[in-house]
Amino acid sequence: MSNEEFKPILLGRVGKPNSHTLSTYKADGGYEALAKALSMKNTEVIDLVKASGLRGRGGAGFPTGLKWTFLPKDVTGPIYLCVNGDESEPGTFNNRVLIEEDPHQVLEGIVISSFATRTTTAYFYLRYEYGRCYRVLKDAIDEMYDNNLLGKNILGSGYDLDVHLHRGACAYICGEETGLIESLEGKRAWPRIKPPFPAIEGAFRRPTVVNNVETLACIPHILNKGADWFMSMGIPKDPNNARDAGSYGPKLYCISGHVNKPGLVELPMGISARDLIDKHGGGVWKGRKAKAVVPGGISMGFMSEKELDTPLDFAGPGRVGCLGLGTAAVIVIDDHTSMIDVLYNACRFFAHESCGQCTPCREGTAWSTKILERIRQGHGKLSDIDVLLEISSSIGTIPGTTICGLADGAAWPMKTAINKFRPEFEEYIKSGRKSESKSLVGAH
Amino acid sequence: MSELSDNAKKVIEDHLGRYPSKQAVTLPALHIVQEEKGCVSRKAIKEIADMLELSPAQINDTLSFYGFFRTEEDPLGKKRVWICRSLPCMLRGGEELLAELCERWGIQPGQTTPDGQVTLELAECLGACDGAPCMLVDDELSLCVTADDVERMVRG
């Protein structure tokens, strides 16, 4: 299927009148997938999701069905599902649109996934900033209780499930799955040392699955149309790489920054960044050229203009030195923009959002921001460039110095900005210029 | 006299049945108190702690982790305006917008106008990058805003 013929699946109901209500969702075939799932064995649902090749949409791309199989088989007592709606990766807004426009699609995915994993209580962790989403979800959940889609004996199947909304308090780290669990438990959102992974010991020390909103929204469609249908979209596994799990299904791409038409687009996984920007983002604004593009939220790093033909599937960005596909939030930076200001912005974000638990992250993010601030004031030294590179290779789970991946997310923008735009950094430092950007110094 | 309103107490009690631990009600409790009073006072911390069978230090530990909650020394204005400064907004004028509002209102991010009407905050990515620069007023997002829009919406 070509991208031109593709009809949106996850966004298929966006823009329809009252798309957020149960009656319109049901009129469009909603909750048929749930009825089907409830007629199956829970393990059959897991097998179907495994067979579809669905990988988590929250950033790490872990195979969803496989994650579910990590739950202990012989467990007695509660299992929890935590819905990760703490979408905060800069550039990412697909969860917001999915929830505001079609909450029942997400909720149907939650009920099916809960049934598959034998969960009887699901917590929907939603970032505080999404107030409208909160109110839309609250109404949708009430409708579900009134219509036997939640609560006891759902649709006469004997299966019980409660879903509770839980609002965050403006902290990026709550999107890390164990940070989310700590926050849910009422504590500071300090990520946990793993193992044990949440599947063994998660929320309230019980087996727990944490899934992203977009991932869950895919589930009803997989139930309705099957694994082969899901695998007919996207980029197949690389036969020469045993570790590649393929990039199947539809994907929501967020386009922002210096484009004519910022917005959310759904396409089969694997469009190139260039096509995405030109055909779906209206091209770079003001007739300019792209200088750098973030492939999937700032923690993935930067692609240069000549790397824009890279396919945006799970494996593509990694082949051009980025961390990965991340959230597929594409941020376009035009050729009139200073990479020093851009990198400063990225570093300041991570310094602000580091939870402070691990020294390499806390200190590394803070000092990289200070060094870049000094460069922006016109007082940089050429040796600063290598200090920044050294910081970027010394923090994170990939060198093994921190508990969670936030520091990796901080490292990749530094590595890629400097490795791909080093002459610009050198020229800027030698010139002794001051940045023209209005960033408030030290504002915290 | 109790610092927590009857409504706040009821909200907290209603939440207790949703979680296997009382501590999990910490964030919902802090939210309801701050929504009502514009801050979480020491007395409120103590009363929440009593309801959740925790020490006040445990509540304060969580409260102080999230930059979101205010103490009685530093309460919120009537409206809380967050201006996004993360990369997608920065690229489309978010930082200039924030600087302009600071100048117009004569305050820095984190501060409240002297008339107590508006607290200005800087935000990291608000999740509305399709409408950069964006802002959040209390918990409602507004997309593609100018300084005049902000003035009209919060002071008009």
Domains with residue ranges and CATH for chain A: 22-232 (3.40.50.11540), 247-334 (3.10.20.600), 339-431 (1.20.1440.230)
State whether A345 and B85 contact (CB < 8 Å): yes
Cα separation, A44 vs B20, in Å, equals 29
Using CB atoms, pick whichever of B68, B128, B131 lies closest to residue A170.
B68
Smallest Cα distance from A386 to chain B, Å: 24
CB B120 within 8 A of CB B101: yes
Q: What is the DSSP letter of A327?
A: T
Q: Write down the pLDDT at residue A442.
A: 44
Is the distance from CB of A13 to CB of A105 less than 8 angstroms?
yes
Q: Is the domain B6-65 a CATH 1.25.40 member? A: no
| Residue B150, both tokens | 């902000």
Q: What is the DSSP string of A348-414?
A: HHHHHH--S-SHHHHHHHHHHHHHHHHHHTT---THHHHHHHHHHHHSSTTTT-SSSTHHHHHHHHH
Band (pLDDT 50/70/90 cuts) for residue A1 is: low
Q: In which element (H, E) is residue A49 found? A: helix A42-52
Residue of B nearest to A190 (CA): B65
Q: Backbone phi, then psi, for A395, in 5-degree steps?
A: -115, 145
Q: Which of A171, A186, A262 sits opposite B129 (nearest CB)?
A: A262
pLDDT value for A443: 41
For residue B125, list chain A residues with Cβ-Cβ distance below 8 A.
88-92, 172, 349
Cβ(A176)–Cβ(A167) under 8 Å?
Answer: no
Helix (H) or strand (E) holding A333: strand A329-334
Average pLDDT estimate for A70-77:
93
Residue A5: which pLDDT band, with cuts at 50, 70 and 90?
A: confident
Section A148-153 average pLDDT: 98
Confidence class for position A437, pLDDT limits 50, 70, 90: confident
Element (H, E) at A266: strand A263-268
Cβ burial of B13 (10 Å; 0-12, 13-18, 19+) is exposed
Whether B138 and B76 have beta carbons less than 8 Å apart is answered as no
In 3D space, the residue among A377, A381, A376, A378 whose CA is nearest the CA of residue A343 turns out to be: A376
The shortest C-alpha distance from B113 to chain A (Å) reads 17
Distance (Å) from the alpha carbon of A241 to chain B's nearest alpha carbon: 34
In the sheet where B118-123 sits, what is the strand order? Answer: B118-123, B79-84, B135-137, B140-142
Q: What is the least distance, in Å, from the CA of A255 to any CA of chain B? A: 7
Q: Which two tokens stand for residue A347?
A: 């570093």
From chain A, pick out residues whose CB is under 8 angstroms from the CB of B96: 438
Number of other CB atoms surrounding residue A178 within 10 Å: 23
Packed helices A131-146 and A103-117: angle between N→C axes, nearest 10 degrees:
60
Provide, as residue numbers in chain B, all residues whose Cβ is less than 8 Å from the Cβ of A352.
Answer: 124
Provide, as residue numbers in chain A, all residues whose Cβ is less than 8 Å from the Cβ of B140: 131-132
* Token digits of residue A169: 């308090």
Q: How big is the CA angle at B61 (ends A356 and B83), to the nearest 5 degrees?
A: 65
User: How many of the other CB atoms lie within 10 Å of CB of A204?
Assistant: 18
For residue B117 the two structure tokens come to: 């009407």
A170–B25 CB contact, under 8 Å = no
Tell me the whole-structure pTM to 2 decimals: 0.96
A-B CB pairs within 8 A amount to 170
Comparing CA positions, the residue from A409, A245, A263 lying closest to residue A313 is A245
pLDDT band at A444 (very low <50, low <70, confident <90, very high): very low
Over 70: is that where the pLDDT of B78 sits?
Answer: yes
- Collapsing DSSP states into helix, strand and coil, what is residue A145? helix
B88 with A90: Cβ contact below 8 A: yes
| pLDDT band, very low/low/confident/very high, at A440 (cuts 50, 70, 90) | low
Check if the beta carbon of residue A76 is closer than 8 Å to that of residue A254.
no
Three-class DSSP labels, A15-30: CCCCCCCHHHHHHCCC
Interface contact B85-A95, CB threshold 8 A = no
Q: A435: closest CA among A317, A337, A319?
A: A337
Residue of B nearest to A338 (CA): B91
Contact call for A257 and B92, based on CB within 8 A? yes
Which segment of A240-244, A389-393, A405-409, B99-103 scores lowest on mean pLDDT?
A: A240-244
d(CA B7, nearest CA chain A) in Å? 18
Q: Which residue in this structure is represented by tokens 């923690």?
A: A299
Cβ-contact A191, A355 below 8 angstroms? yes
What residue ranges do the domains of chain B occupy? 6-65, 79-155
Report the C-alpha gap between A169 and A156 in whole angstroms: 37
Read off the amino acid at residue A186: G
Relative to beta strand A263-268, strand A250-257 is: antiparallel
Number of residues that this document lists for chain A: 444
Q: What is the pLDDT of residues B26-77, one digit of tens each?
A: 999 999 999 999 999 999 999 999 999 999 999 999 999 998 999 999 999 9
Whether residue A316 contacts residue A270, with contact meaning beta carbons closer than 8 Å, is answered with yes
Nearest-Cα distance to chain B for A227, in Å, is 31
- Mean of per-residue pLDDT scores for chain A: 96
* H-run or E-run covering B154: helix B147-155
In Å, how far is A349's CA from the nearest CA of chain B?
Answer: 7
Report residue B86's pLDDT band, with 50, 70 and 90 as the boundaries: very high
User: Which among B91, B127, B132 has CB closest to A129?
Assistant: B127
Residue of chain A minimizing CA distance to B32: A167
Cross-strand bridge partners of residue A304: A292
Q: Where are the beta strands (DSSP E) in A129-213?
A: 162-167, 208-212
The residue-averaged pLDDT of A308-325 equals: 96
List, in order, residues 6 or more apart from B148 with CB less than 8 Å away: none
ipTM score for this prediction: 0.97
Q: Which fold has domain B79-155?
A: Glutaredoxin (3.40.30)
Contacts of A263 in chain B (CB under 8 A): 130
- DSSP β-bridge partners for residue A311: A272
Tens of pLDDT, residue by residue over A357-369, are 999 999 999 999 9
Answer for the pair A135, A128: CB distance below 8 angstroms, yes or no.
Answer: no
Residues of A in contact with B81 (CB under 8 A): none
Rounded distance between C-alpha atoms, residue A117 and residue A221, angstroms: 18
Q: What percent of chain B has pLDDT over 90?
A: 97
For residue A93, which residues of chain B lie inside 8 Å, CB to CB?
Answer: 127-130
Does position A441 have pLDDT exceeding 60, yes or no? no
CB count in 10 Å sphere of residue B44: 26
